[in-house]
């Protein structure tokens, strides 16, 4: 398939994690909400007779977060996933050790293991549990791609309509050439700010006080578009005019002072790149629609039994 399916929102990519804190334990489920399967383990739902254990649902709730108050989203994800995996078994699709290792490698790309470990600890999830979820989501995505392969095509008129309806999306945004003084401690950032106030050039102050790798380049970060910096820095950066600097800004990593060298105006993107992005977006929208229709058919034909007290499907879910 020329464009990957992005509709599986349950994929446990590293950027998914936010420090929500642990959810309260759902001890009451075993007493009244759940039923028991043949193994004696309580189940929260059954799909064509296949039980979804309460323990699996409780774990999934930690990933879906505090916004999923009654666990409906977590249960919907598990039911959808069961149906998708069953389709994979019927198609004879194999997801072996090599595919699992590739999925985990992709999930870890660009991720600091220490940050991931802290996020998992905040969720009350082990590394093995996260890896299992990543692998399961990758397997589900591979099955969906196989099922929808060849079902979606993109015509030239569709691409033109998408381009002109969303013209600003396909133009290179305004960019700023930024420099930074980064320090781990606020007092060091205050020393740098005092030196700037006394007239020290920003590149010199960055080289003297900066602790990031850009310090050797006079603090030069390069061209940065709005939204590319962490949220705590983005707003201040987007307001800078050439020759101006920010106040001391705090982030999870330390303290920052930003300086704007220049503002580069928006301009047309490379035509070939624009065409590829338009085609991708049109294909993605059509794949999402096809996926939702396919999943709705699976749910309609399946025998889904929810235990007494289990949450109903989320509104708008097939």
Mean pLDDT of the chain: 82
- Domain edges within the chain: 14-154+277-306, 174-265
Per residue in 251-309, pLDDT (tens digit) is 888 899 999 999 887 665 566 667 777 888 888 889 999 999 999 999 999 999 999 99
Confirm if 271 and 263 have CB atoms less than 8 A apart: no
Q: 130 Cβ partners below 8 Å, 6+ apart?
A: 12, 116, 120
Has this prediction a pTM greater than 0.85? Answer: no
Task: Please check whether the two domains, 14-154+277-306 and 174-265, share a CATH topology.
Answer: no
Annotate 280-317 with DSSP letters as a single string.
HHHHHHHHHHHHHHHHHHHHHHS-EEEPTTPPPPPTT-
Identify the pLDDT of residue 296.
94
Tell the residue number behind the tokens 């939702």, with chain if given.
292
CATH number, domain 14-154+277-306: 1.10.4030.10
Using alpha carbons, select from 8, 10, 71 the residue that is nearest to residue 45: 71
Identify the pLDDT of residue 30.
35
Mean pLDDT of 55-80: 92
Helix axes 72-91, 271-301, angle to 10 degrees: 90
Question: What does the alpha-carbon distance between residue 90 and residue 87 come to, in Å, rounded to a whole number?
Answer: 5
* Of the candidate ranges 104-113, 224-233, 256-265, the one whose mean pLDDT is the lowest: 224-233
Confirm if 269 and 275 have CB atoms less than 8 A apart: no
Question: What does the alpha-carbon distance between residue 234 and residue 207 come to, in Å, rounded to a whole number?
Answer: 23
Using alpha carbons, select from 20, 136, 24 the residue that is nearest to residue 77: 136
**Does 39 score more than 60 pLDDT?**
no
> Which of residues 103 and 29 earns the better pLDDT score?
103
Helices (H), 226-270: 231-239
Paired tokens of 123:
């969720």
Give residue 18's pLDDT band: very low, low, confident or very high (50, 70, 90): very low
Mean pLDDT of 41-61: 95
Per residue in 2-16, pLDDT (tens digit) is 333 333 333 333 332
* Of the candidate ranges 40-49, 155-164, 247-256, the one whose mean pLDDT is the lowest: 155-164
Question: What does the alpha-carbon distance between residue 115 and residue 101 come to, in Å, rounded to a whole number?
Answer: 20
Identify the pLDDT of residue 235.
87
Residue 91's CB is within 10 A of a number of other CB atoms, namely 11
**Does 43 score more than 60 pLDDT?**
yes
For residue 177, the cross-strand partners are 223, 262
Question: What does the alpha-carbon distance between residue 260 and residue 245 come to, in Å, rounded to a whole number?
Answer: 6
Chain centroid offset of residue 151 CA: 26
Paired tokens of 212:
């990031």
> Which of residues 69 and 20 earns the better pLDDT score?
69
CATH architecture of the domain with residue range 174-265:
Roll (3.10)
Identify the pLDDT of residue 167.
65
Per-residue buried b or exposed e for 24-33, using 16+ beta carbons within 10 Å of the residue's own CB: eeeeebeeeb
**Does 80 score more than 70 pLDDT?**
yes
Per residue in 176-220, pLDDT (tens digit) is 899 999 999 999 999 999 999 999 999 999 999 999 889 999 999
């Amino acid at each position: 398939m020329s464009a990957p399916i992005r509709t599986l929102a349950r994929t446990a990519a590293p950027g998914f994690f936010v420090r929500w804190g642990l959810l309260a334990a759902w001890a009451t489920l075993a007493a009244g909400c759940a039923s028991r399967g043949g193994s004696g383990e309580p189940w929260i739902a059954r799909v064509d007779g296949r039980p979804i254990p309460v323990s699996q649902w409780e774990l999934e709730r930690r990933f879906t977060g505090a916004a999923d108050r009654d666990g409906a989203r977590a249960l919907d994800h598990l039911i959808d996933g069961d149906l998708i995996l069953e389709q994979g078994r019927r198609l004879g699709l194999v997801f072996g050790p090599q595919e699992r290792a590739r999925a985990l490698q992709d999930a870890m790309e660009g991720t600091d293991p220490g940050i991931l470990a802290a996020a998992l600890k905040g969720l009350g999830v082990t590394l093995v549990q996260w890896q299992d979820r990543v692998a399961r989501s990758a397997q589900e995505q591979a099955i969906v791609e196989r099922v929808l392969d060849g079902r979606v095509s993109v015509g030239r008129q569709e691409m033109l309509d998408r381009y002109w309806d969303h013209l600003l999306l396909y133009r290179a945004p305004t960019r700023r050439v930024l420099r930074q003084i980064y320090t781990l401690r606020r007092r060091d950032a205050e020393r740098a700010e005092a030196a700037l106030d006394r007239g020290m050039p920003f590149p010199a102050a960055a080289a003297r006080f900066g602790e990031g790798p850009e310090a050797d380049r006079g603090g030069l970060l390069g061209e940065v578009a709005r939204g590319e910096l962490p949220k705590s820095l983005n707003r201040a950066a987007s307001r800078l005019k050439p020759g101006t600097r920010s106040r001391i800004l705090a982030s999870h990593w330390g303290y920052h002072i930003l300086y704007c060298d220049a503002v580069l105006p928006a301009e047309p993107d490379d035509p070939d790149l624009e065409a590829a992005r338009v085609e991708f977006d049109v294909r993605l929208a059509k794949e999402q629609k096809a996926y939702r229709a396919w999943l709705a058919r699976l749910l309609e034909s399946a025998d889904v039994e929810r235990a007494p007290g289990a949450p109903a499907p989320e509104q708008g879910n097939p």
